[in-house]
Copies of this chain bind each other. A is one copy, B any other.
Amino acid sequence: MGLASFVVRQPAEYFNLEFSTKLTIPTSTFGIPSTNSALLPMINTLYLPELREMLAESNSEGLRDFCEAIHPARAAEFMAGLSNEEAWEVLQQTQIELQVDIFGYFGKSKQHGILETVDVHQAAQMVAEMAPDDRVDVLQEIDERRRNDLLDLLPVAERRDFQRLSQYPEGTAGAVMTTEVAKLAESLTIREALNEVARQSEDYETIYYLYVVDAEDHLRGLVSARQLLTGMKSPETTLAQIMDTDLVTADVLEDQEDVANKVARMDLLAIPVVDNQHKMLGIITHDDVIDVVREEATEDAHRIGAVDPLDESYLRTGLFTLTWKRGIWLTILFFFALLTAFAIDGFKDQIAEWGWLAVFIPLIISSGGNSGSQSATLIITALSRGHITLSDWSRVVMREILMGLLLGFGLALMGYLASRFFVPDNVAWTNAVMFVVPITLVLIVVCGTLTGSILPLLFERLGWDPAMMSTPFVAGIVDILGILIYFNVAIRFMAQAAH
């Protein structure tokens, strides 16, 4: 049974299954029910049986209709349950532009699997049609020999494009940009520009910003499609007369996070990427910016939680890969904790003498660790969103010391009250004991806020990722300091009280 005829015969049913075609949408229930569809699992098995049946029957028409009737992102979801060979066979039934679109929505591992296993000539045809930035992304991650085979089969222009784009280090503007951008001469009139855009629009990633360049590709200005449309009344005006020249640009080696911050702050649709001669190399569009923002935010969150950032989504990351990405950090933190154990071991005589000392160990180290984590989180997110810079360091550190004092005194008050519950009445040094925990709390909380703020700033200063100074890492350092402070405060007070 073909899918196409199925759709025609039973549109309402298909519609309820979040599947619609251009031909058969009943007005009353038009559109796609939106509830929770953002949370659709990436693998949707709803149409797997139909797809497999059509593949078995070599039903080209049905498969083509499937590809063409729905949004490519959704087609990709429905195909995610197919094997690489099956998915590729489905794609082969439709036109190459749509193949590229659907392929772009596959998960990374499926993309790599397909490119590495299917017929290299067919694969090269599709790769040649991909947007230059996507092409570089996917080719750089597949098997090297296969990559070279594919590159050999690409047209010269695309091969050269790959070589140029792939030279930019990951995480820079150059690595995210696409070169498919509308560049126009400033002498063009509005009418000519409109015709040019109408003719070429298929080749461009966006036609909503048109860039005006000189003969050597130096960026001169920007004309938006909005300006072109509203300028149609005077079609002989030249672009030079209407173009905007106060442009925000990205340097080709600029950090992608900085570029994303810029686009977000200025509400741009795209940002041109230039070299140090101000020659226009490409653009980064809004959808790439959203991807960068999400990617960086997730990476930051993972680092804050002491997990090495994942390359794929949680469920798609292999169990051993994930264990490894957690294990390396747990091991590092374990050795910090071992140092804490060594430190406590050094004070075992005191613990033997004053049993209550052991009781408060977790309270002390978690108060220090938590306030340190808070500071690190605040500083890391503020740095990555561009809310603070290194030049603010003294203000930041001053604020953290003040907050540490406020928070420390607050906890100390609670600690003072708490220690009343634990200290046996017959201990001679009650007063001293009542002060050991509170004083330690003030000191360790200030210590935590200082460590949590200074370490990310230091990392930023050294040109490393401040989020690498993950908050449990800060907590690990503060733990050791906490033990040292705690026992030293205790020893001094007990000695003084003994006099």
- A247-B31, A381-B301 known; A341-B360 Cβ under 8 A: yes
Assembled-state Cα–Cα distance A326/B320 (Å): 36
Assembled-state Cα–Cα distance A483/B476 (Å): 18
| In the assembled complex, A17 has its CB within 8 A of some CB on chain B | no
| In the assembled complex, A64 has its CB within 8 A of some CB on chain B | no
- A370-B330, A378-B314 known; A39-B251 Cβ under 8 A: no
Assembled-state Cα–Cα distance A374/B229 (Å): 52
Say which one of A52-60, A82-90, A91-99, A264-272 lies at the interface with B: A264-272
| In the assembled complex, A183 has its CB within 8 A of some CB on chain B | no
Q: How far is the CB of A7 from chain B (nearest CB, A)?
A: 12
Chain A, interface size category, equals: 35 or more
Q: How far is the CB of A398 from chain B (nearest CB, A)?
A: 10
Assembled-state Cα–Cα distance A358/B347 (Å): 10
A246 partner, pick from B21, B261, B264, beta carbons under 8 A: B21
Contact with B along A455-481 (1 / 0, CB 8 A): 000000000000000011001100100
Contact A301 B300 (CB under 8 A): yes
| In the assembled complex, A118 has its CB within 8 A of some CB on chain B | no
| In the assembled complex, A2 has its CB within 8 A of some CB on chain B | no
Contact B248 A374 (CB under 8 A): no
Residue of B nearest to A233 (CB): B198
Q: How far is the CB of A410 from chain B (nearest CB, A)?
A: 6
| In the assembled complex, A434 has its CB within 8 A of some CB on chain B | no
The residues in A between 349 and 386 inclusive whose CB is less than 8 angstroms from any CB of B are 351-352, 355-356, 358-363, 365-367, 370-371, 373-374, 376-382, 385-386
Contact B387 A314 (CB under 8 A): yes
Assembled-state Cα–Cα distance A210/B406 (Å): 54
Contact A373 B305 (CB under 8 A): yes
Say which one of A142-150, A159-167, A291-299, A491-499 lies at the interface with B: A291-299
Contact A337 B385 (CB under 8 A): no
Contact B344 A374 (CB under 8 A): no
Q: Which residues of B contact A194 (CB under 8 A)?
A: 229, 232
Q: How far is the CB of A197 from chain B (nearest CB, A)?
A: 5
Contact B37 A262 (CB under 8 A): yes
Say which one of A108-116, A122-130, A219-227, A425-433 lies at the interface with B: A219-227
Contact A301 B304 (CB under 8 A): yes
Assembled-state Cα–Cα distance A242/B198 (Å): 15
| In the assembled complex, A394 has its CB within 8 A of some CB on chain B | no
- A359-B348, A362-B365 known; A326-B414 Cβ under 8 A: no
Contact with B along A324-354 (1 / 0, CB 8 A): 0011011101101110110011001001100
Contact with B along A396-432 (1 / 0, CB 8 A): 1001001100110011001000100010000000000
| In the assembled complex, A391 has its CB within 8 A of some CB on chain B | yes
| In the assembled complex, A140 has its CB within 8 A of some CB on chain B | no
Residue of B nearest to A20 (CB): B246
Contact with B along A294-318 (1 / 0, CB 8 A): 1001101110111100100111000
A337 partner, pick from B274, B362, B472, beta carbons under 8 A: B362
Assembled-state Cα–Cα distance A220/B232 (Å): 27
Residue of B nearest to A277 (CB): B28
| In the assembled complex, A3 has its CB within 8 A of some CB on chain B | no
Q: How far is the CB of A273 from chain B (nearest CB, A)?
A: 9
Contact B22 A246 (CB under 8 A): yes
Assembled-state Cα–Cα distance A301/B304 (Å): 8
Q: Which residues of B contact A201 (CB under 8 A)?
A: 226, 229-230
Q: How far is the CB of A276 from chain B (nearest CB, A)?
A: 10
Contact B208 A472 (CB under 8 A): no
Q: How far is the CB of A491 from chain B (nearest CB, A)?
A: 16
Q: How far is the CB of A24 from chain B (nearest CB, A)?
A: 10
A35 partner, pick from B105, B254, B381, beta carbons under 8 A: B254
A297 partner, pick from B301, B379, B418, beta carbons under 8 A: B301
Residue of B nearest to A68 (CB): B246
The residues in A between 11 and 48 inclusive whose CB is less than 8 angstroms from any CB of B are 20-22, 25, 27, 29-32, 34-42
Q: Which residues of B contact A363 (CB under 8 A)?
A: 334, 337-338, 340-341
- A38-B258, A294-B293, A327-B410 known; A319-B362 Cβ under 8 A: no
Contact B365 A407 (CB under 8 A): no
Q: Which residues of B contact A268 (CB under 8 A)?
A: 287
19 residue pairs bridging A and B, Cβ less than 8 Å apart: A34-B254, A38-B258, A38-B262, A39-B389, A198-B232, A207-B225, A267-B287, A290-B293, A304-B304, A305-B373, A306-B373, A307-B374, A313-B388, A327-B410, A329-B370, A341-B362, A345-B359, A362-B365, A366-B479
